[in-house]
Amino acid sequence: MKKFYITTAIDYVNGKPHIGHTLEKVQADVAARYHRLKGDDVYYLTGTDEHGAKIARSAEKAGKPVEKYAAENAKAFQEAWDNLNISYDYFIRTSNKTRHWPSVRKVWQGLAANDDIYKKSYTGLYCVGHEAFVTKKDLNKEGKCEIHDAEPEKVEEENYFFKLSKYTKKVEKAIKSGEMKIVPKSRENEILKLAEKGFEDVSFSRPSKDLKWGVPVPRDKSQTIYVWADALTNYISALGWGTSNDKKYKKYWPADVQVIGKDILRFHAAIWPGILLSLGLPLPKKLFVHGFINVEGKKLSKTLGNVIDPNEIVEKYGADALRYYMLSEIQPTKDGDFSVEKFEARYNGDLALGLGNLLARITSLGEKYLDKPLESKLTSVSQKELDKRWKAYEGYMEELQFSDAIREVSALISYADKRINDTKLWVLAKEDAGKFKEEISDVATILAYVAWMLTPVIPTTSEKVFNQLGIKPGAKKTWKFKMEKGEALFPRLE
RNA sequence: CGCGGGGUGGUGGAGCAGUACCACGCCAGGCUCAUAACCUGGAGGUCGCGGGUGCAAUUCCCGCCCCCGCAACCA
């Protein structure tokens, strides 16, 4: 059995999940479900990134102990994914002292043992209002902090650094050789360009006085491990790397696909492989980089107030509808747009009137005119059409090109609709029982395959389709249809 | 002169040298099994702007304009 390990980025719990977070989880979920259907041994990891001064500050503002604050938000993420039917196998939390922390310490020790950690003073711009370092981005034209309208002070402090520069060439080679693929190509170029200039060493710790909420540096309590060695380690800590129980690590690592957003590409394509190389561990096989979701053409922003809660969408339209939108409307590696108008257009066009209506057409005829179970059988033209679409679909799924894969399925739905029109199935039902059975079996079989192909995308709906056709899920050569027209899969929205 | 990505009919996308394609929307016709659904046909684009190379450019090259992203935590 082939193993398939897929991860998403872990979400920072400094807020609640929004519509943008869902894209990545849904993408990874479809890949995971697709591979499970293929019979692969799949492990799908997601979780939350919970440490950092920002969280500590937010918790303080909320008047809650930081552990509690982080736990509450982590729960909100986990619940959102449960509502969306995300089939993760484990939900890792970086605050988990038994599952996560031991691996983080082990990573640190490994890097240190390899002489890749050194102490250096770091000079940064410190904003008193923020009580934290700020970047150029946070400053306005006069060099003042945008929020506090105060000039930041230059502050020097001692940090541990990781010798990432040492690994530039190796990472570059791994990318060029295809050992670690970066999809899409444009993102790969971005990193290769960066590698040409050489990666810079990165700060790997903060003084504990500034960063209390995190994993302490081994043998130096005055420093706390900074986000990189902490958060990135989740991908192997969840598998038990560095502990006595590392069976999962041995089985699943390296990751087959790591799904990330374009904003964290550099961390995953430079720092992460740097860490792994230093530890002598294999690199992930593929980094899949998705874009961002805009709402009504605008960036998500709290001040604009266009942040959408995925739970609301799920509650109103169902998890499958949102999953379907994210996968069909959004080009997987590009920025996409979410709007209620577009969402409802997709819903009506593809789900209600495409898939739903086809099912209704077939089952209503089947229920009325078939007196006993009907063997599935494809006409040779339909078999040819199916083979063609199936092959294209598989190719796209393997490459995580979800919207293209779904387009192939839509084509099959159109094909079946056309077939019903061309053969005048409703006339055959009354005038030619033999021919009718042949033709309804043909289109029902196509629909069964459609449902099968859509199982990773809209699992609940596919199950309903199978139920109404009166068959068990699976890509078999033959089924016995016992059709029963049920409720509309997706009631048309007005 | 920082670096990278992008600008294709109303909308979202594909194409990347040889009469510009797909989906949705819109208009007309057909059909009536179906969630007023389904099928067919049609209208609609000087492919951001200017220049260059080619027999031929949306597709290659140069310049410009506009959007978006980018190394200390923003998915």
Q: Which residue has the higher pLDDT, A61 or A358?
A: A358
Mean pLDDT of A445-468: 94
Q: Give, in Å, how far the C1' of B72 lies from the CA of A478.
A: 58
- Of chain A, the percentage scoring pLDDT greater than 90 comes to 53
In this prediction, residue A46 carries a pLDDT of 95
- Please state whether beta strands A132-134 and A117-127 pair in parallel, antiparallel, or not at all (unpaired): antiparallel
**Rounded Cα–Cα distance for residues A210 and A455 (Å):** 48
Tokens (6 digits) for A325: 């939108």
> Strand B: which residues 116-145 of A lie within 7 A (CB)?
122, 124, 132-135, 137
* Position A377 confidence tier, pLDDT thresholds 50, 70, 90: very high
- Of chain A, the percentage scoring pLDDT greater than 70 comes to 91
Cis check: omega of the bond before A102, within 30 degrees of 0? no
Residue closest to sugar C1' of B40 by CA: A418
Alpha helices for A372-424 (secondary structure H): 380-398, 402-423
- Please state whether beta strands A153-162 and A202-203 pair in parallel, antiparallel, or not at all (unpaired): antiparallel
Q: Give, in Å, how far the C1' of B44 lies from the CA of A341.
A: 22
Mean pLDDT of A229-235: 93
* Position A321 confidence tier, pLDDT thresholds 50, 70, 90: very high
Q: Is the CB of A207 under 7 A from strand B?
A: no
Tokens (6 digits) for A344: 């409802």
Strand-pair partners of A10:
none
In this prediction, residue A146 carries a pLDDT of 55
Contact A269, A171 (CB under 8 A): yes
In this prediction, residue A262 carries a pLDDT of 83
Contact A134, A127 (CB under 8 A): yes
Q: Give, in Å, how far the C1' of B5 lies from the CA of A235.
A: 28
Q: Is the CB of A479 under 7 A from strand B?
A: no
pLDDT at position A442 over 80 = yes
Mean pLDDT of A27-52: 94
**Rounded Cα–Cα distance for residues A57 and A130 (Å):** 9
> Strand B: which residues 378-407 of A lie within 7 A (CB)?
407
* Range with top average pLDDT, A50-54, A135-139, A318-322: A318-322
In angstroms, what CA-CA distances link A459 with A85, A371, A465? 8, 29, 10
- SS3 (DSSP) at A43: strand
Annotate A310-349 with b (16+ C-beta within 10 A) or e (fewer): bbebbeebbbbbbbbbbbbbbebbeebebbeeebbebbbe
Long-range contacts of A422-426 (CB under 8 A, 24+ apart): A425/A365, A426/A365
The average confidence (pLDDT) of chain A is 88
* Position A303 confidence tier, pLDDT thresholds 50, 70, 90: low
pLDDT tens by residue, A246-289: 999 999 999 999 999 888 888 899 999 999 999 999 999 999 98
ipTM: 0.84
